[in-house]
Amino acid sequence: MTIVDTPERRQLRELTRAFVTREVLPHLADWERAGEVPRQLHATAAKIGLLGIGFPEAVGGSGGDLLDSIIVTEEIIRSGGSSGLVAALFTHGIALPHMVAAAGAGSGGKLPRRSGDAPGSVDPTGREHDLIDRYVRPTLAGSMIGALAITEPDGGSDVAGIRTHARLDGDHYVVNGAKTYITSGVRADFVTTAVRTGVPGGGELSLLVIDKGTPGFTVGRRLDKLGWHCSDTAELSFVDVRVPVANRIGEEDTGFLAIMQQFAAERLSLATHAYAIAQRCVELAVSWCRDRSTFGRPLASRQLVRHRLAEMHTRAEAARAYVHQVAARVAAGEPVVTEVAMAKNVAVSAADRVVDQALQLHGGFGYLRDAEVERHYRDARILGIGGGTTEIMNEIIAKGMGL
C-alpha cells in the first residue's frame, strides 16, 4: 500500500511547483530576513486551491486527503521552497482539524445540518457549525491565520501535564497560563489552545479557540530560532482571559483524545518535511558535484564522491517510500501508531545524515547564507523535536514492541 500517482495528483504536483516558482522563490530570502511570510501569500494559495488541500469542501476546503497534503509539502520543498515556509503557510493544518472533526466532517465528508435546517439534525446546538463558519472557512479562504498552542514553558512533550487552566464561570471559561514555541503565534488571528478543565495531574483537557485581542491574552516576544526563519514563533500568555463556552471544541474534557487523534497527521507531515529536504539536498549536491571541479576534475568523477551521493540518494528514497506506505495505511483508517513513530524517526534520521553530507560536499560555499543547502541544514534540525521528539517516538515504538 502506497500513495497512488493518479492524474489528479500529477496535476497537483504541477500546480504546487508553479506556485513555488512564481510566488515563493523570488521572495523567500526576504521572508527569511523578515522572520515571517506575508498574509497575502495565504490568500494567493487559497485562490488557486492549495491552502484547502486535505480539507473537505463542506467546510470550505479543496477536498483531497492526508496523501494529497503530503504531495503538496513534498513538492514545495523539492521545488526550492523551505520547511519553514510550509510550517508558516500551512499552520492551519494543525489549528483546524479538531474543529472539523468535532463538526462531523471527515476527509471528503459532509457537514451535518444545523438543528434548525432540517428534521433529525445530529447537532442540536450548532456550536460546531458556528466554529466552522467563524474560523475554518475564513482560514481556508486565506483571510485568517490560525495557530495551535499545546506546548508549555516547563512541559515539553508532556501533553497530559498541561498546566494552563480554564475555570468555568457562567457562559465563559477563565483561562490562566502560558504557551511557548507556538508556530505562527505572532501572526495568528486565533489560537486553538489546550487547557486543563479538570484537576491538576488528571487527563481532563479541553480545546478552546481564543481570539487575538481578547483582554488578558498577550502575544509575547518573537522567538529567534536556529532554523525556520520565515516561520514566526511566539510565546503566549493568558491572564484571566474570558473565553465563551461557545468557543470550546467538542465536549469538555475530551481535548486529550482529540489532540492524540491528530498527532498521526502532524508527525507524518514532519516526516515528509524530512525526506523531502533529504531529496532536495541530494539534487543540490549532485548538481554541485557535476559543476564543481577540483584539481582539474569534476567532483562527480571521483569514486568517493559518487558513492557518497549514492548512499544519500538511497537513504532519501527509502525514507520516502516508508513514509508513503505508512501514510497510505493511516488514510485507510488503520491503527498504526507505532509505524507512524517509526516513519518519523526514519525520515528524520535520513534528513540529518543527508543534509550534513550535502553541506560537506558543497565545501565553504555550503556554509554561506547564500547557499540553499545551508538553509535546509538549519531547518532540518527541528524535525526531530517538533511533533514529539525522537526520544518520545522511540518510547512509542518500544511500547509497540511490548517492552
- Which residue numbers are catalytic? 266
Angle (CA) 146-248-206 rounded to 5° is: 95
Nearest to 1 by CA among 220, 318, 325: 325
How far, in Å, CA of 302 to CA of 106, rounded?
Answer: 52
What's the grid cell of residue 398? 518500544
Q: What is the 3-state secondary structure (H, E, C) of the chain?
A: CCCCCCHHHHHHHHHHHHHHHHHHCCCHHHHHHHCCCCHHHHHHHHHCCCCCECECHHHCCCECCHHHHHHHHHHHHHCCCCHHHHHHHCCHHHHCHHHHHHCCCCCCCCCCCECCCCCCCCECCCHHHHHHHHHHHHHHCCCCCEEEECCCCCCCCCHHHCCCEEEEECCEEEEEEEEEEEECCCCCCEEEEEEECCCCCCCCEEEEEEECCCCCEEEEEECCCCCCCCCCEEEEEEEEEEEEHHHEECCCCCHHHHHHHHHHHHHHHHHHHHHHHHHHHHHHHHHHHHHCEECCEEHHHCHHHHHHHHHHHHHHHHHHHHHHHHHHHHHCCCCCHHHHHHHHHHHHHHHHHHHHHHHHHHHHHHHCCCCHHHHHHHHHHHHHCCCCCHHHHHHHHHHHCCC
How far, in Å, CA of 175 to CA of 287, rounded?
Answer: 53
Nearest to 148 by CA among 188, 120, 110: 188
How far, in Å, CA of 289 to CA of 137, rounded?
Answer: 47
